[in-house]
C-alpha cells in the first residue's frame, strides 16, 4: 500500500509536528519505502503468537507511599520558556 500526501498530513497532525512543504514530500517517499520494507513481516503467520511489549519478568512493582523531598519550585521553573507566578505561561488554547 502506498503512502499518500493525505496520510503524511494526517499523521503529522496527530504528532503535532509542523513540516515544511519539501519535508512533507520527502517524508512521503521515505515512509513509503520504509513501510514497504516492513511488509516482510506479513510473510509470517503470527495468529497464535502473543505480543511482547517488554522482556523482564516484573509486573506491578509497588513501593510504600513514603513522602520524600521533591524538586523546589525554582528548580522546576528554571528551564521554563515562559512563567507567570508559579505557572507555566502558554498561548491561548481557545480564541
User: What is the widest separation between alpha-carbon atoms in the chain?
Assistant: 58
Of residues 40-59, those binding another protein (CB under 8 A): 40-42, 44, 46, 49-56, 58
Which residue, 53 or 85, is less far from another protein as judged by CB? 53
* Distance, first Cα to last Cα, the chain: 39
Q: How far is CA 39 from CA 8, 31, 35, 43, 56, in A?
A: 19, 12, 7, 8, 28
- CA–CA dist 60, 18 (Å, integer): 37
Q: What is the nearest approach in angstroms of another protein to the Cβ of residue 67?
A: 14
Q: Is 73 in the site for another protein (CB under 8 A)?
A: no
Distance CA 28, CA 21 (A): 11
Which positions from 9 through 28 interact with another protein, judged by CB under 8 A? 10-12, 14-20, 23, 27
Residues engaged in binding another protein (CB under 8 A): 7-8, 10-12, 14-20, 23, 27, 30-31, 33-35, 37-38, 40-42, 44, 46, 49-56, 58, 61, 63, 71, 75-76, 78-82, 88, 90-93, 95
Amino acid at each position: 500500500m502506498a503512502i499518500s500526501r493525505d496520510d503524511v498530513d494526517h499523521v503529522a497532525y496527530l504528532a503535532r509536528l509542523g513540516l515544511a512543504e519539501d519535508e512533507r514530500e520527502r517524508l512521503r517517499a521515505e515512509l513509503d519505502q520504509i513501510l514497504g520494507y516492513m511488509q516482510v513481516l506479513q510473510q509470517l503467520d503470527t495468529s497464535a503468537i502473543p505480543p511482547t511489549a517488554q522482556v523482564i519478568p516484573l509486573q506491578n512493582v509497588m513501593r510504600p507511599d513514603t513522602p520524600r523531598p521533591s524538586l523546589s519550585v525554582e528548580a522546576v521553573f528554571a528551564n521554563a520558556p515562559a512563567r507567570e507566578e508559579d505557572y507555566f505561561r502558554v498561548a491561548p488554547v481557545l480564541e
